[in-house]
Amino acid sequence: MQAFLKGATVQSIRPQKDKASAGPSTEKKAKAIPWVEKYRPKCVDEVAFQEEVVAVLKKSLQGADLPNLLFYGPPGTGKTSTILAAARELYGPGLFRQRVLELNASDERGIQVIREKVKNFAQLTVAGTRTDGKPCPPFKIIILDEADSMTAPAQAALRRTMEKESRTTRFCLICNYISRIIEPLTSRCSKFRFKPLASQIQEERLLDICDKENLKYTKESIAALVRVSEGDLRKAITFLQSATRLHVNKEITERAVVEIAGIVPPKMIDNLLQLCFKGTFEKLEVAVRVSICFFILQNFVL
């Protein structure tokens, strides 16, 4: 019996030793996060190419006051990153989770969500002070991402909540199309349009990430990332990370970027067109005449 118990104690100790020995590797795996989140701006000054929004937010942060905001524009231009960076500066790391509610309105876009989650959070009393001694604003922030996917009744309910809880809550609506937001909501918010990022700004951010991650790359690959992303920095960073994972310890080339993006190179399209239509103009003319006849038969005879 004693031998059995001794064996049990030995077996119970071994897993702990194994865990201790495997600790650093498991911690590294746990810390691995997408580069989009890893290199998200931590403060308003790090937001790129949106000078008007940054200037207004800086003044609001100095006075510890913030109006209701409406950010609209193409995806990947920094709308969500901007309001999260401003909220971190307002509340600090200690109160950020208590004071900020972030919802994706495309998944939770019904009137029930507005009545329950948003309304209950807005009615909570504001309390607490920052640990660093800086003044803490007397309001909370509710972020509604993809607000243009909300139903009309939900938007109407949100308007009433914004009116009732204006003293203790600020709202930030984020959308791609402002035309899908009802006028009573847009009139209660300060509207800011986020422009697609310039190619130079994207190149600078991508090169900075490459330097921090010690990546091997070519100038053509960076230019290809900017080209295929079409002003969407989030897409460009995602493609860069995907290319890095598929080509470990190798140089990232333009071909690798094109393969990740799933885009057919223009040269291949030209070669296919030349191959298909080389010496076949007679066939093309016949095909055009057949299509015209089919159109006449379908619209006039039938």
Supply the mean pLDDT for the chain.
76
Query: What pLDDT is attached to residue 163?
Result: 86
Query: What pLDDT is attached to residue 17?
Result: 43
Residue 232: pLDDT above 50? yes
The tens digit of pLDDT for each residue in 239-255 reads 999 888 888 778 888 88
Look at 212 and 54; give whichever has higher pLDDT.
Answer: 212
CA distance 187 to 30: 44
Which regions of the chain carry the CATH code 1.10.8.60? 199-261
Look at 110 and 220; give whichever has higher pLDDT.
Answer: 220
pLDDT band at 106 (very low <50, low <70, confident <90, very high): low
The tens digit of pLDDT for each residue in 160-211 reads 888 888 888 889 999 999 999 999 999 999 898 888 888 898 999 999 999 9
Query: What pLDDT is attached to residue 8?
Result: 44
Tell if the pTM clears 0.85, that is, is over it: no
DSSP notation for the chain: -HHHHHHHHHHHHHHHHHHHHTHHHHHHHHH---HHHHTS-SSGGG--S-HHHHHHHHHHHHTT----EEEESSTTSSHHHHHHHHHHHHHHHHHHHHHEEEEETTTS-SHHHIIIIIHHHHTSPP----TT-----S-EEEEEETGGGS-HHHHHHHHHHHHHTTTTEEEEEEES-GGGS-HHHHTTSEEEEPPPPPHHHHHHHHHHHHHHTT--B-HHHHHHHHHHHTT-HHHHHHHHHHHHHHSTTS-B-HHHHHHHHT---HHHHHHHHHHHHTT-HHHHHHHHHHHHHHHHIIIII-
Average pLDDT of span 46-65 = 77
Residue 119 CB contacts under 8 Å (≥ 6 apart), including other chains: 161, 165
Residue 216: pLDDT above 60? yes
Correct CATH for 199-261 of 1.10.8.60, 3.30.1370.160, 3.40.50.1820, 4.10.490.10: 1.10.8.60
Query: What pLDDT is attached to residue 186?
Result: 92
CA distance 111 to 147: 13
Query: What pLDDT is attached to residue 1?
Result: 40
Query: What pLDDT is attached to residue 64?
Result: 64
109-118, Cβ contacts within 8 angstroms, sequence gap of 24 or more: 109/149, 109/150, 109/151, 109/154, 110/151, 110/154, 111/151, 111/153, 111/154, 111/157, 113/154, 114/154, 114/157, 114/158, 114/161, 115/157, 118/142, 118/144, 118/158, 118/161
Residue 43: pLDDT above 80? yes
Look at 93 and 14; give whichever has higher pLDDT.
Answer: 93
Residue 277: pLDDT above 90? no
Look at 112 and 68; give whichever has higher pLDDT.
Answer: 68
CATH of domain 37-193: 3.40.50.300
Query: What pLDDT is attached to residue 26?
Result: 45
Tokens found for residue 146: 């993809």
Gyration radius of the chain's alpha carbons? 28
Average pLDDT of span 72-81 = 89
